[in-house]
Amino acid sequence: MKKPDIIVVGAGAAGLMAAYTLVKSGKSVTVLEARNRIGGRIHTVTNGFTNPVELGAEFVHGNLPVTLGLLKEAGIATTGVDFEMWQHHNGTFEKSNEFIEGFGEFLDKLNRLEEDMPMQVFIDQHFSDEKYAKMRNQIENYVAGYDTADIHDVSAFALRNEWNHEDEDAQHRITGGYGKLVDYLAKAIISAGNNILTDKAVTAITWSKNVVKVSTADGLIYEAAKVIIALPLGVLQAGAITFNPPIPHYTKAFNGIGFGSIIKILLEFDTPFWEDNAITGLTGKGLGTMGFLFADEAIPTFWTQVPNRSPLLTGWLGGPPAYEQKDASPEAVLEITLTSLSTIFKMDVPVLRNKLVAWNITNWTAEPFTLGSYAYDKVESAEARNVLQQPIETLYFAGEYLYNGPAMGTVEAALTSGKNVAAYVLDNN
């Protein structure tokens, strides 16, 4: 195989976007991917489901320029999604977007904070009174569910920025799934005469000026002038790759950024039972337009395929509660999920189980080539990100964890990072 100009380690969104950008500028690349597939945390499958489903990334969260621009370029359609929020507490359904009791008071005090600290420290200092117990619990649950973060180390400033600039732009799903976008990037890379090699888990990188040698688990060595490392942060934090010479300053920086935990549960039933008359009797209103459902259960978040009428229900467990279940079997997580639904909808677990047509549990925290969900900011993350965005001789890093903006943790973040690092390589060739 011909020696490429650049090796890209990781065929997720960041790695493929970096390779795609380089190829469009005439560079030759070889992409090495540890899995037997491309896409990383994008994984669109059928696997017994009636329609393609997303085991990983699912939504385009707002009017995101890089993602939507690439979709337009590829001619891939999207469907707008209107999220009608419902909550279930103490046996009662309520349509509501209010997740945190007394949030106005909380945000007002948070906006006056002058020095960053972990959110738990801020709460202990200002909202430790018993009257705030419900608020504290709601904040912890929200941070775990939405940011997949641990409230004990997540940055108060980062959450403040997120909550003050929540994206209310239109949300989208990609028609046919995110896999179409992955395939578009891969096709462009390969059709230009480059290689994307799967089942190539990188174990070591030996680097010096203008020469890098990348060793894989199957005993092969790939050589190029430069390498872009586009692996999930969890893999880098675990020390899966040995660098020679070592890069201790960068290794420390990896651990200065938070990386959450997630378990995604896909359940296809024979009918969308939550629209049944019996359920309408419980809610007092039909749930035919319900987008999200939040509940005080072991699996606290569910969503439907609205506006499409579909019997698919997605469950979501994030943050420390997901980490606690990282070693649970898929069958055990399924049982927990059905028990949660049983309590919410007052249907026996065997009835729900008999209605199941297909199911899948994706435990991204246990998945060895991901080891988590997506990044979140700790107090020291800005400094760590600055370190990691500076290349060392022939080593460059890319990934959603390096993105600094409102779309942190998304496919947009990964694509933007890949595009930016490729531009940096081209500018400094």
Q: What is the pLDDT of residues 240-251, one digit of tens each?
A: 999 999 999 999
Contact 156, 113 (CB under 8 A): yes
pLDDT value at position 223? 98
Asked if 12 and 42 touch (Cβ cutoff 8 Å), the reply is: yes
pLDDT of residue 180: 97
Report d(CA 344, CA 93) in Å as an integer. Answer: 9
Which pLDDT does position 352 carry in this prediction? 98
Checking if the pLDDT of 78 tops 80, the result is yes
Whether the pLDDT of residue 378 is over 80: the answer is yes
User: Tell me: the pLDDT tens digits for 383-415?
Assistant: 999 999 998 889 999 999 999 877 888 999 999
What DSSP element (H or E) covers 233?
helix 233-237
Residue-level pLDDT at 170: 75
Q: What is the pLDDT of residues 140-180, one digit of tens each?
A: 999 999 999 999 999 999 999 989 877 667 789 999 999 99
What letter does residue 400 receive in the DSSP assignment?
A: G
Domains by residue range for the chain, with CATH: 6-44+60-77+175-256+378-427 (3.50.50.60), 81-174+262-363 (3.90.660.10)
CB atoms within 10 A of CB 192: 16
Q: What is the pLDDT of residue 62?
A: 83
- What does the CA dihedral 348, 349, 353, 354 come to, rounded to 10 degrees? -30
Judge contact between 375 and 401, C-beta under 8 A.
yes
pLDDT of residue 168: 63
CA–CA dist 171, 2 (Å, integer):
43
Spatial separation of the C-alpha atoms in residues 262 and 317, rounded to whole Å: 6
Please name every residue paired with 154 in a beta bridge, in sequence order, or none if there are none: 378
Closest to 379 in 3D by CA, of 211, 64, 150, 92: 150
Q: Which residues contact 172 (CB under 8 A, 6 or more apart)?
A: 59, 60, 68, 78, 79, 80, 81
* pLDDT reported for residue 286: 83
118: cis peptide before it, omega within 30°?
Answer: no
Mean pLDDT of all residues belonging to the chain = 95
Please identify which residue in the block is written with the tokens 């899948």.
Answer: 360
Task: Measure the CA–CA gap between 107 and 160, rounded to whole angstroms.
Answer: 7
Mean pLDDT to the nearest integer, 24-45: 98
Q: Quote the CA–CA distance of 332 and 364 in Å, as a whole number.
A: 16
- Dist. CA 343–CA 352, nearest whole Å: 11
Give residue 3's pLDDT: 93
What type of residue sits at position 403?
Y
> What's the pLDDT score for residue 277?
86
* Local structure of residue 212 (DSSP, 8 states): E
In the chain, the amino acid numbered 385 is R
330 token code pair? 């898929």
In 64-133, which ranges are E strands? 78-81, 85-89, 92-95
Residue-wise DSSP of 114-156: -S--BHHHHHHHHS-SGGGHHHHHHHHHHHHHHS---TTTBBH
pLDDT at 234 over 90: yes
How far apart (Å, rounded) are the C-alpha atoms in residues 123 and 132?
10
Which tens digit of pLDDT belongs to each residue from 274-325? Answer: 999 888 887 777 888 899 999 999 999 999 999 998 999 999 999 999 999 9
